[in-house]
Amino acid sequence: MYIARVIGTVVSTSKQDSLIGMKFLVIERLDEHLQRIGESEIAVDSVGAGTGEMVIVCKGSAARTVLGGQVPVDTSIVGIIDTVEVG
């Protein structure tokens, strides 16, 4: 899992059947100082996050498990962050 910030949305009217009704968000990964690292990516939102919010993200099989297991995704938003304390 890692921390990310939602920076946008993706609209897809044509998609695989098991993804119908799911919201896609563009996220950017953050380091422990909440600075952007790496490239942006698309994640399926399971918690109702919005643009500008910091979120907790799962990758791989954990991301699929959140959505029922047999969904073709590799990145899922699983929490909205209120505060972060380091050190």
Grouping H, G, I as helix, E, B as strand and the rest as coil, residue 30 is: strand
* Cβ-contact 34, 77 below 8 angstroms: no
- pTM for this predicted structure: 0.91
Give the separation between CA 63 and CA 20, rounded to whole angstroms: 17
Mean pLDDT computed over 67-83: 89
Protein fold of 2-80? OB fold (Dihydrolipoamide Acetyltransferase, E2P) (2.40.50)
Summarised one tens digit per residue, pLDDT across range 44-63 is 999 999 999 999 999 988 88
Provide the 10 A C-beta neighbour count for residue 50. 12
So where are the chain's domains?
2-80
Give the separation between CA 39 and CA 48, rounded to whole angstroms: 22
- Give the DSSP letter of residue 64: H
